[in-house]
Amino acid sequence: MNVSNLLTNYEEAIAMILFGIGFSNLLLQKNLIKKIIGLNIMDTAMYLFLALKGYIAGRKAPIVTNGVQSVEAYINPIPSGLVLTGIVVSVSVTALMLSLTIRLYRRYHTLDLDEISVRLKKEGL
Amino acid sequence: MAFVQNFPFMSIILSLFAGPLSSVLGGKKAKWLNLAVISIIGAMSVAVLVFVAVTDEAFVYTMGHFPAPWGNEIRVGILEAFMAVFFCLIMLLCMLGGVFEREEEIEDTKQNLYYVMVNMLLCSLLALIYTNDLFTAYVFVEINTISACGLIMIKQNGRTLEAATRYMIMSLMGSGLLLLGICFLYGLTGHLLMSNIKEQVALLHAGGEYTVPLLISLGLMSTGLAIKSALFPFHSWLPDAYGYSTLSSAAILSSLVSKGYIFLLVKIFFRVFGFGIVRDSKVVNVLFVFGIAGMIMGSISAIWENNIRRMIAYSSVAQIGYIYMGFGLGTTAGVIASIYHIVCHAATKSLLFVAASGLTDVSGDSTKFLDLTGAGYRNKLAGVAFTVGSLSMVGIPMFSGFISKLLFAQAGMESRNKMLLTLIALAISTILNAVYFMKTVIRIYTPVPAEITREKGYITMKARERLPKSAALICFIILNLVLGLSSEPIITLFRRGLAMFA
Amino acid sequence: MSRRLPKEQYEHTLSYRVKEWLKGTKDPFLGNVEMKPQKEFQEDRKTIVRRDREKKRLFEQIYDIKHNPEIRIFRRAYNIFSVLFCLFLVTMLLLAVSDLPKFGNASNPVNNEVAARYIENGLQETGAVNIVTGMILDYRAFDTLGESHVLFVATCTVLILLRLDGDKKGRSGVGYVMENDRIYEPKNDMILQTVARIVVPPIFIFGIYIILCGHLGPGGGFSGGAVIGAGLILYLNAFGFAKTERFFTQKTYRRTSFCALACYALCKSYSFYTGANHLESGIPLGTPGAILSSGLILILNICVGIVVAGTMYTFYVMFRKGDY
């Protein structure tokens, strides 16, 4: 493990730690809403990581100003576009998860997935 | 450029267009539109397959005015075209087989939304098969996940809602890992297009640079796709999702959705990293171990199960274990065996689901084993079909399952250090398969006294009564026999297709 | 010279009312705004005890640790394995990061010929001043086509889950009335209505501006559509369904989003088809910097904006137990 490089890349390291936090929330939380929050943390960490990939020190956002079109003037536009796509995907997925949660809550009046499983077994469906 | 070469692109756009269109149509019209779209796409894919097989060369189709590393593109070879044809065929038969159940179980006002989901699922499967770009693959993986979730919960009861939630949580973890792997790979190579990434990865590998991040990105992508396709420890959503959703959803989910992810994994192995690098890494060994665990544990859970549809679902866990074991062998022969098993399992599992529903129809809609006693006499065609499917899953010669087991065993013999483990696992799993499938077959052919039949309200059903389902069953049986009896040309086709991947 | 009004007339003018309000003798909102004193939440001992007991019993059944050691072992094993897996994952990721190229460096492998062409020729080839917009809607348009359909599919699943379909006799079933929160309407919230009347038109105009200038500066269909959706939601909250349904129902949503997506798919398939077959597309790019420029990008942005606005509004309506 190259520690000095890890310290130089500390932004990316933070993104990875955030990813781990989100992932463990998704795995360990019992409450569905907290799981969804974990999912969003995970997605955000990924976008942070992607956005960092495109950054170049001292350059501007990729919108052509004053007709300058040299590579030295702007940061890499590809990661920004990918982040945009990723955000839309995560919005849709979050909406879907929330509506599933609403349905389950209306039916079972709880947000605990294990509790719901037990009730289902009692229903014997 | 020949006109046929436009067909893959047209089939993706056609199914993409049919999704929103069915949301404004009524349920009946959407149904016919869906059947028409699947048939047209199937026909177009046949033309593409013939074209590629004759020219014996893969072609690239640029999506837009900009060539390779700047724009998107799709790539068509023999394997891709074959999978497209096969997926369309299976999907058509599944949709036919579940017509009655769909109309009974789904509310009238939501019928058209079901067809939206099916069309979008078909579109995402086609895009996953054809795409040559990793980020496009990610976007369509998400469409696939969301529409599969829609298919599970369209029949709304507590079980399906819970299964859909569990399915979404698992899949989201999987797609998170997949996207992270793609980001790492993009950061190392600077490309998103599979061919360009492969060049760069070969350069990096030769220079010995960035070996750790490359390995980790491969591991992330394989883990992500393995989670999404319900490899053994991640299968907790699967029995409920397959066991309680409506019939065509269960059949499509078990036979197509997970197979789409597995096919993407094959593409990543061959077209992104190159199979040499994948073999040298230790990732295949991990897949091998989990595959074998899945083969055994899935079968054991299936033996304990008391509900026929959940039993078939657990059997899916075991079969996905087989497929990953084939990858884990790390030889081309193993991968070909796995691809053959993808095809064989898709054909057989959907047959089993449709046949099982035919059996439960005549047993007072109960899925319990006790109520299925003698169901093979009451619905003769479904009984025969279930028997065919069971024999194929167990691996009796003449049926498709036998060929894939033979291929797995051959591939296992070739690899030196994994031979013993593969053969033992195959033997144990075959015995376990035989236990639970033969138990069911014997159960459905045990005669019941006439008074019990009357008491429980069992009915007898002729093949003529539910014509679409019977037609689908007959087609499935024929498909199984074809795959079992004339496997040689298909395997040759796979070999050529896999060679085209490189 | 000022005109003196008679007293009755003077009492109706705005300045008089403002003066009264400043002096504090009369509150103009009193009697005009719907005000209900909120009842404090109270629970008697009996229900509290009963609730606690039921909850405890339920938890005992679920986590029946005394009689069922398997559950305990399984839960503990699950937790331990999850924590270990997460720690392993983070360690692996940090290991990978420590080996990655240096952050913010111009010579990283990411900054290769692909990014260079987007920056250097983007303006000439796509006509878009905003390079990111040019990239996602022209160079890599297939991704974005998929992405807008992700939104559409997600809306359909939300509709499947949360739409209240009522029974066939119309919207009169008991469950329907219970679950629908229209019974609290019409609302007469004067502050909200006044603010909404002032703020909603600028919000719409701002959203339209963002969509139309997506190829000239930061913005585009997704952000603009989200702004318009927020405006719609504010309008709905202020005036209730009775008013919004005059121009936006579920049927409107489905038709507009179908038209937008179909238009999107048709435009893009035309350009994919011509591109792959090496035909001239014949779409003028216009002068960069003008609103009507950059070929199909403007049309695509509008389509995406329509879809996103409808989607945001639909999510909101579905989440607040509504129906439209």
Residue with tokens 């039921």: C54
Largest separation between any pair of C-alpha atoms in chain A: 70
Residue B62 confidence (pLDDT) above 80 = yes
Range of the domain at B463: 282-502
Q: Which residue is listed with tokens 């955030």?
A: A18
pLDDT band, residue C119 (cuts 50/70/90): confident
Is residue B141, in this structure, part of any structural domain at all?
no
Helices (H), B111-210: 111-130, 134-153, 158-189, 194-207
Chains that touch B (3 or more CB pairs under 8 A): A, C
Backbone torsion region of residue C278, taken as left when φ is above 0, otherwise alpha when ψ lies between -120 and 50, otherwise beta:
left
pLDDT of A124 reads 65
How far apart are alpha carbons B86 and B336 in whole angstroms? 16
A30–C contact, CB cutoff 8 A? no
- Across the interface, whether the CB atoms of C275 and B120 are under 8 A apart is answered no
Percent of chain C residues topping a pLDDT of 90: 23
Which domain, by its residues, includes A69? Answer: 3-123
Q: What is the pLDDT of residues B234-292, one digit of tens each?
A: 888 888 888 888 889 999 998 899 899 999 999 999 999 888 888 888 888 889 999 99
Answer whether residue C322 shows pLDDT above 70.
no
pLDDT at position B227 over 50: yes
Asked whether the beta carbons of residue B169 and residue A35 sit closer than 8 angstroms, the reply is: yes
Q: What's the rounded Cα separation, in Å, for the pair B457 and B459?
A: 6
pLDDT above 70 (res C66): no
Task: Considering only the beta carbons, identify the residue of C90, C106, C147 that sits closest to A89.
Answer: C147
**pLDDT at residue C217 tops 90:** no
Euclidean distance between CA atoms A29 and B226, whole angstroms: 22
Of A13, A79, A81, nearest to C97 by CB-CB distance is A13
Total domain count, chain B = 1
Q: Give the DSSP letter of residue C131.
A: H
Question: Alpha-carbon distance B384 to B394, whole Å?
Answer: 15
ipTM of the complex in this document:
0.94
DSSP A83: H
Average pLDDT, integer, range C93-117 = 84
pLDDT band at A1; cut points 50, 70, 90: low
C113 touches chain B (CB under 8 A): yes
CA distance B113 to chain A (A): 15
Look at C274 and B17 and tell me if their CB atoms are within 8 Å.
Answer: no
The per-residue pLDDT for C169 is 41
> Which residues make Cβ contacts (< 8 Å) with residue B322, sequence separation at least 6?
B291, B295, B338, B341, B345, B404, B408, B429
Binary contact (B180, A86; C-beta < 8 A)? no
Q: Is the pLDDT of residue B473 over 60?
A: yes
CA distance B493 to B496: 5
CB distance from C265 to chain B under 8 Å? yes
CB B358 within 8 A of CB B474: no
Domain count, chain A: 1
C172-184 mean pLDDT: 58
d(CA C268, CA C260): 12
Picking from B24, B116, B150, the nearest residue to C255 by CB comes out as B24
C129-156: pLDDT as tens digits: 888 888 888 888 888 899 999 999 999 9
CA A101 to chain C, closest CA, distance in angstroms equals 10
pLDDT (mean) for C155-163: 88
C-chain residues within 8 Å CB-CB of A106? 179
B61's enclosing H/E stretch is: strand B59-63
Answer yes or no: do A12 and C104 touch at CB < 8 A: no
| Predicted local confidence at residue C218, as pLDDT | 86
Interface of B with A (CB under 8 A): 135, 139, 142, 145-146, 149, 153, 156-159, 161-162, 164-166, 168-169, 172-173, 176, 179-180, 183, 186-187, 192, 244
**Crossing angle for the helix pair A10-28 and C69-98, to the nearest 10 degrees:** 170
Yes or no, beta carbons of A20 and C136 under 8 Å apart:
no
Residues 6+ apart with CB under 8 A from C227: C203, C206, C207, C210
Q: Output the six-digit token pair for C44.
A: 């008697």
Measure the CA–CA gap between A30 and C62, rounded to whole angstroms.
Answer: 13
CA C242 to chain centre: 21
Q: Which residue blocks in chain C are alpha helix, DSSP H?
A: 7-10, 14-23, 45-62, 69-98, 113-126, 131-134, 141-162, 174-179, 190-212, 221-239, 241-244, 250-276, 297-319
pLDDT at B423 over 70: yes
**All residues at 6 or more sequence positions from C106 whose CB lies less than 8 Å from its CB, including other chains:** A56, A57, A72
Tell me which residue has tokens 């692109």. Answer: B9
The pLDDT value recorded for residue C167 is: 45
* Residue C266, pLDDT above cutoff 50: yes
The reply to whether residue B168 touches residue A100, judged by beta carbons under 8 angstroms, is yes
Q: Identify the closest residue of chain C to B6 by CA–CA distance.
A: C273
Closest CA to B251 of B404, B339, B357: B357
Most confident of B384-393, C31-40, C69-78, C276-285: B384-393
Buried b or exposed e, range B450-485, using 16+ CB within 10 angstroms: eeebeeeebeebebeebeebbebbebbbebbeebbe
Quote the pLDDT of residue C288. Answer: 77
Residue B38 structure tokens: 């699947």
Q: Which of A8, A16, A110 to mutate to test the interface with C (most CBs of C within 10 A)?
A: A16
- Tell me the H-state helices in A55-124: 77-108, 113-123
List Cβ neighbours of C180 (8 Å cut-off, separation of 6 or more). Answer: C164, C171, C321, C322, C323
Q: Tokens 């009730």 identify what position?
A: A119
What is the predicted pLDDT for the residue at C168? Answer: 42
Among B89, B59, B86, B84, which residue's Cα sits nearest to residue B74?
Answer: B59
Residue partners of B468: CB distance under 8 A and separation at least 6: B96, B97, B99, B100
- Residues 6 or more apart whose CB falls under 8 angstroms from that of A69 comprise C119, C120, C122, C123
Asked if the C-beta of C142 comes within 8 angstroms of chain B's C-beta atoms, the answer is yes
Torsion (CA) B253, B258, B261, B263 in degrees, nearest 10: -110
pLDDT at A47 over 60: yes
Rounded Cα distance, B72 and B63, in Å: 5
Report pLDDT for B93: 92
Cα of C242 to nearest chain B Cα, Å:
23
Q: What is the CATH number of the domain that holds A83?
A: 1.10.287.3510
Where residue A57 falls among pLDDT bands split at 50, 70, 90? confident
From chain A, pick out residues whose CB is under 8 angstroms from the CB of C105: 56-57
Is residue B237 a part of any domain in this protein? no
Collapsing DSSP to helix, strand or coil, A56 comes out as: coil
Please report, for residues B263, C108, C304, the alpha-carbon distance to residue C150 in angstroms, rounded to integers and kept in the order given: 21, 32, 12
Residues B122-132 pLDDT 10s: 999 999 999 99
Alpha carbons A97 and A94: distance in angstroms, whole number? 5
For the cut 50, the answer to whether the pLDDT of residue C223 exceeds it is yes
Are the beta carbons of B65 and C156 separated by less than 8 Å? no
Looking at the partner chain, which of C100, C143, C153 has a beta carbon nearest the beta carbon of B135?
C143
Mean pLDDT across chain B: 89
CA-closest candidate to residue B26, choices B105, B103, B94, B108: B108
pLDDT averaged over chain C? 82
pLDDT tens digits along B292-337: 999 999 999 898 888 888 899 999 999 999 999 999 888 888 999 9
